[in-house]
Structure 1
Amino acid sequence: MTLSSTQKTTQPDKIIRYFLLCWTILNVIQAYTLELHADEAYYWMYSRFLDWGYFDHPPMVAVFIRIGDSLMHNELGLRLITVLTSTTSVYILWLILKKYAVNVWAFILVVSGTLIFHIYGFTTTPDAPLFFFAVLFYFFYQKYIVEDSWLLALILGVVLACMLYSKYHAVLLVAFTVVSNIRLLKRPSFYVIALIAIAFFTPHILWQVNHDYPSINYHLYERAVKVYNPENSYLYLPGQLLMAGPLIGWFLFYAAFTTKIKDAFIRCLMVNGIGTFAFFFFTTFRGEAQPHWTLIAFAPLIMLALIRFNQWGSLPKWFNTVAAINIFLIIGLRLSMVFGLPIVTRIGQIKSYYGFKEWAKTVNQKAGNAYVILDDGFQNPSKYNYYTNSLKGFSYDSRYYRRTQFEIWPIEEQMQHQRVYHLIDSLKPIVTDSVHVKAGTWYSYWIR
């Protein structure tokens, strides 16, 4: 029995819909059960002080959080828009790749086996909106290559502005896209795209001017290290392979960057993929390049890999088995985090997801309505504020710690001449009390 052409067309879409449903359910469960990462709490603080800019990043992440948090003040509420845009991004990737007759099962194996997609399926940082708007950009740019219309130019201009409002890394996608297709410069509509994007982004530019360019100074100068650390460079590639998938990452890179360039869109993906990964590798010579910074490059990476699979006509026999094991490992890790298995909750950054709700409650019982001051860091004050739904946590940074948005927010002025509760992580003679919880031990004393 053979399928009709209509059935052949609709069957993959039906499979994708079921996959997206499962993807969304898993992300909802993770978003609801897992405490906030330290950075997420910091960006929740952004949403309490909506502005055109912040010390570290543009404001789109604050908008994402404010929308969800206004519906429900819990972890799922904070992450709600990220969960929805993650599902939407995966679906848009599928729509883009339908032109290349990508196999639906290969698509599911690759997307669900890409570790970084799981991380940002629920984690809400500036990378989440950037990825969503980047995928949206590719979707409309694919159409714009074929159809030079004013409507598409308008849409691309708005999407480009949203990318810039998400994270400054968006500049890379714009630059590499133009490099991949210099003929764009001959289109009058191209300049309309640029003008629209600049017009919408102007409020953020003015914010930077009025605040003496804090983001530019921080990212270009303040975070650069004086002494080169080789570890940053030789750990970069393993980190990227891990983000692509613990077992299949190397194969995705190989497949993606051996893809035959047959049209302008594939060339765009290739230049963006290679260019972005190379750019962040070179940044390792001036400091650490965190593995997730390249999230914007994983959209072209997986699209190129899937296009290459189609060009090959068939995949190695081992791939399906290894890809299935790869997914099993990732899902196992995520479920272990949901159930809080000790073997997982003690791992590096994962530790940040546990114990701070109890910590905030315990500290609040001691501090009451007083301000709580912590030293060197934006993470813990932000977590305290989120879990007490207040703005009573504040950070005083030493000369050895970097500047943060706490230096701009008007919190310090409000706590002048008030009795405050100082929380520190080491035992000193002035200490009069302590907090012992799963998240750790802190020592404290009152300042009158």
Structure 2
Amino acid sequence: MKIKLPRIFLIILGIGFLINLLQSYFTPLIFDEAYYWHFASDMAWGYFDHPPLVAVLIKISSFFFDGELGVRFMSCILSTATLFILWCTVDLPRKKEYVIHFFVLAYSMTLLNAYGFFTLPDTPLLFFTALLLYVYKRFIESPDVLWGIIMGVTMAGLMYSKYHAALVIIFILLSNLKLVLNKYAWLSVCIALLCYVPHFIWLYDNDFVTINYHLFDRPNDPYNFTKYTLGFFVNLVAIFGLTFPWIYWGLFKTKANDKFTRALLFLVYGILIFFFLSSFNRRIQTQWIIVINIPLIVIVFRFMMENETAKKWIYRMGLVNIIIILYLRIGLVYEPMSPIYYETHGNKELAEDIKAEVGDMPLVFENSYRGASMFGFYTGNNTFSLNNESYRLNQYSIDNSEATVQHQKILYLSSRSSDADVSFTKNDRRKIYGKYIDNFESFRKLKTILEAPINFNLEQEQTFQLYNPYEFDIDLSKLKFNVAYMTDFKIVKDKLPIKPTLKDPNISTIKAKDTLTYSFKFPKPRKLNDPKYVRIGIMENRINYGINGRNTKVE
């Protein structure tokens, strides 16, 4: 199909692309981007928190540019392509008369602006959602082998972007259940699964660490209406800013007159209902619902062409949104113009201070994958996040970063001032403290295994297994153990030392790839008399206890 684009469309699209390029070049990284840059430093078919596509984008960007633009270049490409695809998805001849209205609608959406240049998993998610809707529209019109293959590859792209992509696919399917009888739809499913096999293999090889963390091991808080459910509704306003009344008016007035519109509506309402229900269990982050922006641009743009009131007010309020957003975007670069101290501010300067102090010495951050990745990017030093039981597991828990700092003199950075040798101050006056360690040694990959469920009885002797995944033996005298008692929400309330024993007291080391069985008794809790989950942790070389075991349910 030949697509003829209005000249004004190309001009505005090009200006938006150039603005995003400039923004990418001058804006320091945010912490999540630095974390995904760390992903890209060791390419794999999966990562602790997300599928690998965000790392692929950064890797490709690095082939063209250095620095921040070497992280964000592909995001500028994808965000521009997303708007192009959405324009092509609207098959109304009159749309050529409303080019400026289309861009005001799209550019006025707050988070959509951020993902125009930030490199985050949501960036490819938005692109592939737009592409899937376009492909699905063509598939409805002409279901054949070609469109079936294209739709399958597109669904795989979605799933390689972010696991939330499954919701996009499911709600489109639910909008047209007759697809289960369509052989070309099944072809697309088979193609998608085939493309996704490498990630399934990665998950298997890594003990489904991503699934286990997101679904089972992640701590949560007790339900709080203001924080959870009310916060969800605040997010529904925040993603659209001042245009939100007319955006939702356009949604409510749109009827499912055809299969494609039905898919758009199912996608929007499905996402909203799913996360509304989820808000009774956990806090909903704003970016989790951003995918509704894609179908809503199509829905609301069509509505604007039919409703003069909506067109007028979305145009007016959209321009106000854009002015505010541009001001805030300048503030990301130029701190004096920012109304808040944002995470793009101060990190480059702090990294320069640390680099001047330690040179190329490795940096170990206590409980901060954000700090390890950010300062790894800006200093070029080897970095590692040493996670203890007060934090959470992350990519540094499963990759090879620990090996790059072992048995070297390192600077150990934390928020604790005790025993600090040096300190550094950010321009927001927050301090970070450093302690030199001459021969750093950690074993954070050691695993403790409790059989679930476990009978919590203070008098009964229990057992756990200690597994050494390393390629070298470890002296057991360097290790101490504790047990963490947790609530229903996996929040640690008690952390008490234990002295487990081996059947053979003559064993002094654990061999590489070997497993030992310890016996112990649960110590009496101090704060939590009825723990719901327990976990065994390990302290090595007097470093704080780590997260070495799964949260094990108590009978």
Give the shorter-chain TM-score range: over 0.9
Counterparts of 2:317 and 2:221 in 1: how far apart (Å)?
A: 42
Counterparts of 2:326 and 2:269 in 1: how far apart (Å)?
A: 29
Match of residue 406, structure 2, among 400, 403, 416? 416
Displacement of 1:71 in angstroms is 2.1
Correspondence for 1:277: 272
Q: Structure 2: where are the runs of 5+ without partners? A: 439-555
Match of residue 53, structure 2, among 51, 60, 67? 60
Correspondence for 1:3: none
Rg comparison, structure with higher value: 2
- Equivalent position SS for 2:89: helix
- Equivalent position SS for 1:399: coil
Residue pair 1:260, 1:308 contacting (<8 A) in 2 also: no
Counterparts of 1:197 and 1:66 in 2: how far apart (Å)?
A: 23
> Match of 2:310, as an amino acid?
L
Residue pair 2:332, 2:338 contacting (<8 A) in 1 also: no
Pick closer, same or farther for the CA change 1:297–1:252 going to 2, 3 Å.
same
Counterparts of 2:276 and 2:149 in 1: how far apart (Å)?
A: 34
> Match of 1:268, as an amino acid?
A
Counterparts of 2:190 and 2:312 in 1: how far apart (Å)?
A: 50
> What is the CA deviation profile of residues 276-309 of structure 1, one whole-angstrom value per residue up to 9, with x for unaligned ones?
1221222222222110111222101221111222
Residue pair 2:304, 2:311 contacting (<8 A) in 1 also: no
- Equivalent position SS for 1:438: coil
Q: TM-score, normalised by structure 1?
A: 0.92
> Match of 2:287, as an amino acid?
H
Counterparts of 1:332 and 1:294 in 2: how far apart (Å)?
A: 24
Displacement of 1:226 in angstroms is 4.7
> Match of 1:242, as an amino acid?
A
- Equivalent position SS for 1:315: helix
> Match of 2:53, as an amino acid?
M
> What is the CA deviation profile of residues 44-102 of structure 1, one whole-angstrom value per residue up to 9, with x for unaligned ones?
01001100111100000000000111322211121000001101100110111133744
> Match of 1:444, as an amino acid?
G
> Match of 2:387, as an amino acid?
D
Correspondence for 1:300: 295
Q: TM-score, normalised by structure 2?
A: 0.75
> Match of 1:151, as an amino acid?
L
| Equivalent residues in 2 for 1:316-327, closer than 5 Å | 317-327=312-322
Match of residue 378, structure 1, among 361, 369, 372? 369
Correspondence for 1:6: none
Displacement of 1:413 in angstroms is 2.3
Correspondence for 2:150: 155
Displacement of 1:329 in angstroms is 1.5
Match of residue 18, structure 1, among 7, 11, 20? 11
Counterparts of 2:320 and 2:13 in 1: how far apart (Å)?
A: 20
Correspondence for 1:235: 231
Counterparts of 2:388 and 2:364 in 1: how far apart (Å)?
A: 13
- Equivalent position SS for 2:389: coil
Match of residue 121, structure 1, among 109, 116, 120? 116
Residue pair 1:259, 1:307 contacting (<8 A) in 2 also: no
Counterparts of 2:72 and 2:270 in 1: how far apart (Å)?
A: 30
Counterparts of 1:85 and 1:182 in 2: how far apart (Å)?
A: 31
The number of residues matched between the two structures is 432
| Equivalent residues in 2 for 1:8-407, closer than 5 Å | 13-99=6-92, 101-102=94-95, 103-230=98-225, 231-244=227-240, 246-312=241-307, 315=310, 317-346=312-341, 351-390=342-381, 392-407=382-397
1:432 equivalent to 2:421? Answer: yes
Residue pair 1:224, 1:286 contacting (<8 A) in 2 also: no
Displacement of 1:342 in angstroms is 4.8
Correspondence for 1:4: none
Residue pair 1:224, 1:287 contacting (<8 A) in 2 also: no
Displacement of 1:206 in angstroms is 1.0
Counterparts of 1:302 and 1:317 in 2: how far apart (Å)?
A: 16
> Match of 1:176, as an amino acid?
F
Displacement of 1:122 in angstroms is 0.5
- Equivalent position SS for 2:242: coil
1:443 equivalent to 2:443? Answer: no
Displacement of 1:264 in angstroms is 0.5
Pick closer, same or farther for the CA change 1:260–1:101 going to 2, 3 Å.
farther
Counterparts of 1:407 and 1:304 in 2: how far apart (Å)?
A: 43
Pick closer, same or farther for the CA change 1:313–1:188 going to 2, 3 Å.
farther
Pick closer, same or farther for the CA change 1:99–1:320 going to 2, 3 Å.
closer
Q: Is the deviation greater in 36-45 or in 224-233?
A: 224-233
CA-based RMSD of the aligned residues comes to 1.8
Pick closer, same or farther for the CA change 1:359–1:131 going to 2, 3 Å.
same
> Match of 1:367, as an amino acid?
V
Counterparts of 1:187 and 1:383 in 2: how far apart (Å)?
A: 48
- Equivalent position SS for 2:310: coil
Displacement of 1:106 in angstroms is 2.2
Residue pair 1:55, 1:404 contacting (<8 A) in 2 also: yes
> Match of 2:135, as an amino acid?
F
Displacement of 1:167 in angstroms is 0.5
Displacement of 1:318 in angstroms is 4.1
